[in-house]
Amino acid sequence: MPGYRAHLVGGMAVYGITLYMLRSYCGSAFVAAEWMLFALAGSLFPDIDTKSKGQKFLYQILLVILIILAIQRKFVLMAILSVTAMVPIIARHRGIFHRWWFVIGLPLVVALIIAISAPHYTKIILFDVIFFIVGGVSHLVMDFTVSRLKRI
């Protein structure tokens, strides 16, 4: 199983390939950097079910989001997000977070929710999700490849 650095390298590789394929949609260096961050986050995402850099990053982001929600007095949304945030802690490693349908489906569902609630962000979210998914799939491919090689 590759460590987080190897997954980041894999995320950068698929980022470069995907960026090349979608270069006509990239309007600026800022957009390219945004897409890179999503690819790297995706490359760490499947390991949020174990104590890892990805899990640490997730909970740092969630803390910021929860503080913002508290300031806005959106306590029901805070409660839902807090309960949802416990799933990676109780999930079995290499369980649901290492399933291709989950790594692809969850970001698409989140993108759909954002697109419905803020339709003016649909195009931005679509590209961010594409890069997140290719990063996540790179993680799964690397784990699968390494585990297969270890059996040989």
* Cβ–Cβ < 8 Å for 11, 135: yes
In this structure, of 3-17, 54-68, 96-110, the range with the lowest mean pLDDT score is 54-68
The radius of gyration of the chain's CA atoms, rounded to the nearest angstrom, is: 16
CA distance to 29, 36, 50, 90, 105, per residue, from 96 (Å): 34, 25, 12, 11, 11
Q: Which of 110, 94, 104, 89 lies closest to 137, judged by CA?
A: 104
Mean pLDDT confidence for 123-134: 96
Q: Which amino acid is at 104?
A: I
Q: With 70 as the cut, is the pLDDT of residue 152 above it?
A: no
**Whether this model's pTM surpasses 0.85:** no
Encoding tokens for residue 39? 């690819």
